[in-house]
Structure 1
């Protein structure tokens, strides 16, 4: 199997070192393609840069596309230490500052979009325009049984599985389970290919620590959602309360067949943002970037071209 980074980016996989939310140096894997204004792609939970494989080339024809693996995901470092609820927000800000020398276009999916909202609220100078795909801004619970299962398993048990490399031993079974789970997030099961399953599961199977960080992330997310439901202080509520602070042009893309988060959440989000446009992605599940890439690419490029023209006119 070819090296995905090498075949996707002119310089292959590059490395950036940032201070994480615990003020420890961590290595972040990223790729870069194209020239011009920076466009940062932010992946969601249980994912890595590969999730944008069908979008990078189209966007790189017009922008300097920067695609990175968040800490704990993909090819980036996976330090096994407790995390604060807003660690993804802090680290996304630091990645953007390190890679971009001007306000960037931020394109973010799922949990990555929630982190992007928080970053733009706190640091509006970092973002020129914002694109959000199926963002869990009004969640009721972890949307998938696999996520809930990992959130309930003692973290020490998951860490033991990681250390013994049982994921590698059970590779065929894990890939089959993921194949079934992928069908839940796409409208057309034919979009779930062997290559897609192979690369989607590659970090969990090949890199110790990935499963542990994933379980810890689900546990943290489940705790935040419980606090939200109980009316106690939490990161999600803070983001909800500060939506009016986002004043940059924003495109919200929402899949019409998202089984995890309903279109009504996208409508509610649009109504709470100042300069937001909602566009529904037809015949698409939660994984929009890969489920309907041509529609998503066209929608993003059209929005960015239109918002650029409007800024010139003003």
Structure 2
């Protein structure tokens, strides 16, 4: 089996999108991987090798995260980020895909399903965010201040990477230096804080129940029972609002399930893909 790996950037909708493409010469199907808030394609590092044995993969860094652009003029709404990922997929000559979205990435995936249902075979939502309301007008107003990004930086650095990672995994024993470096590395580029400040302003709120109920694409929802970031109750509500959804609950698992239970997640994905 031969797998070709490319790590590149492509200017899409006025911003550089970083992506990793894994081409399996024997694969017929392609997965697009979308990470969560304050993360990057690094969060799929343990799932990608498993998927690459059977499928092509495109793993994308959403702006302003990872190695993607952090341009202040880009519109960081979920709607626009979904459009940019779809645009990237088309530019790479893929016409139909499977999509995996973790946390915030699940909401981006749902927007992609809403915008271009004909491009997506099935969706896998891993502890997907859901039902978050738009940012308060007062906070949006504050985000226009030229130094607002300093507040964003202070807020995030106050909690620190160690505490943030501890909050998203169930078993703290799995946290090591490599893991901490991987989640800290995107923040070495201080321009990310300007992008995050703009993201506060552009966030339009999650899709409403009426929108979700119109998404007919089959969806597999995989949730950590001990998720402290997006509680299981959100997954249960999503599974009811999405017409063709099934929910799987993983015990002794937190929010970062691509890291915590990659083999289990992969097994469920394979079974889901093979379903009629």
Length-normalised TM-score, structure 1: 0.75
Tell me the equivalent position of 1:65.
57
Shift of 1:161: 8.9
**CA–CA distance in 2 between the matches of 1:57 and 1:277?**
25
**CA–CA distance in 2 between the matches of 1:97 and 1:175?**
40
Say if 1:96 and 1:126, in contact at 8 Å, map to a contact too: no
Tell me the equivalent position of 1:127.
120
**CA–CA distance in 2 between the matches of 1:16 and 1:82?**
15
Tell me the equivalent position of 2:20.
31
Tell me the equivalent position of 1:181.
164
**CA–CA distance in 2 between the matches of 1:189 and 1:258?**
14
Structure 2 counterpart of 1:14, from 8, 17, 20? 8
Tell me the equivalent position of 2:236.
267
**CA–CA distance in 1 between the matches of 2:50 and 2:193?**
32
Shift of 1:11: 3.6
- Greater fraction of residues in helix: 1
Tell me the equivalent position of 2:250.
281
Shift of 1:292: 1.8
Change (3 A) 1:94 1:12: closer
Deviations 1:104-131 (A, max 9, x none): 0000111111111111112101101110
Length-normalised TM-score, structure 2: 0.85
Tell me the equivalent position of 2:206.
236
Change (3 A) 1:271 1:202: same
Shift of 1:141: 9.2
Structure 2 counterpart of 1:91, from 72, 78, 84? 84
Shift of 1:81: 2.4
Tell me the equivalent position of 1:200.
183
Say if 1:134 and 1:261, in contact at 8 Å, map to a contact too: yes
How many residues align? The count is: 265
**CA–CA distance in 2 between the matches of 1:302 and 1:137?**
25
Unaligned runs of 5+ in 2: none
Structure 1 counterpart of 2:193, from 207, 211, 214? 211
Tell me the equivalent position of 2:104.
111
Coordinate RMSD, CA, aligned: 2.9
Unaligned runs of 5+ in 1: 1-8, 20-24, 143-148, 168-172, 225-234
Shift of 1:46: 0.8
